[in-house]
Amino acid sequence: MKLLRYGPAGHEKPGCLHTDGTIRDLSGVVADISSATISPEVLEQLIATDVSSLPVVENVGRIGPCVGSPSKCICIGLNYSDHAAETGATPPTQPIMFQKAVSAIVGPNDDVELPRGSEALDWEVELAIVIGKEAKYVSEADAMDYVAGFTLFNDVSERDYQTKREGQWTKGKSHDTFGPLGPWLVTRDEMPDPHNLDMWLDVNGQRRQTGSTSTLIFNVPTIVSYVSNFMTLKPGDVIPTGTPPGVAMGMKPPQYLKVGDVMTLGIAGLGEQRQKVVAA
């Protein structure tokens, strides 16, 4: 099932994408797509719903983040060996974890802000895991049981803030709008193998990233298990899993984003996003 949220920011309603291409209103079934409604039990109820009987949303307007109010967004860095190489980093022997403020999460087609004084705004197309039930000290063998589904994520980054301002990466990852999420959450039953998905990103119509989740260093079960050893994962938590090569900082010379640039990106089966860069 492809679950989504639509409407003005802060007032999104729950919906789903029907196989006929229409968006159907789920308001009569659940209050929202959030931590309270992506448990295995509720997802089972949603998947069993006769979507064709639900009202068609005639004027969708804005698509919001596909999960409302996650408690945290834990990102995995340098998780593609070829991306690590382009940044000059050694591929990690354990997953690199960093936090992106949940206040950075926006809809898949919302504008992305260029922070004041920024000169190194970058893009990263990523597969994101969405947690479906509380996970603590989970084994790799059981890890997929804790996954509600998958979605598309753009891990927007300010590289000078990330690498030149000292301390952790968080300050380069957490500006408002730095986390476009969606358009929809694809439940695990529709995505049995997330490890062979084509992914891409264009800037102003020019291809920048081409990759596949088949080249992940650490796969989904490994990531979920590993992170759950350091913190309790809650329903709705988002875990972006890293990006393939082709980011701006890896170009010679780097070609960072500027006001007016447009990013379009997608992952097979997970839909597409489009963001315009605007001044903060």
Give the pTM. 0.96
**What is the rounded CA–CA span in Å between residue 180 and residue 104?**
8
Domain locations in the chain as residue ranges: 67-279
Class for domain 67-279, per CATH? Answer: alpha beta
| 24 Cα distance to chain centroid | 22
User: Can you give the pLDDT at residue 84?
Assistant: 77
Per-residue pLDDT of the chain (280 residues; tens, 9 = 90+): 999 999 999 999 999 999 999 999 999 999 999 998 999 999 999 999 999 999 999 999 999 999 999 999 999 999 998 777 777 778 899 999 999 999 999 999 999 999 999 999 999 999 999 999 999 999 999 999 999 999 999 999 999 999 888 878 899 999 999 999 999 999 999 999 999 999 999 999 999 999 999 999 999 999 999 999 999 999 999 999 999 999 999 999 999 999 999 999 999 999 999 999 999 9
185 strand-pairing partners: 3
User: Can you give the pLDDT at residue 85?
Assistant: 76
The amino acid sitting at 249 is M
Alpha-carbon distances of 257 from 171, 253, 254, rounded to whole Å: 18, 13, 10
Sign of CA pseudo-dihedral 216, 155, 151, 105: positive
User: Can you give the pLDDT at residue 171?
Assistant: 93
Minimal CA–CA distance to 180: which of 279, 119, 83, 263? 263
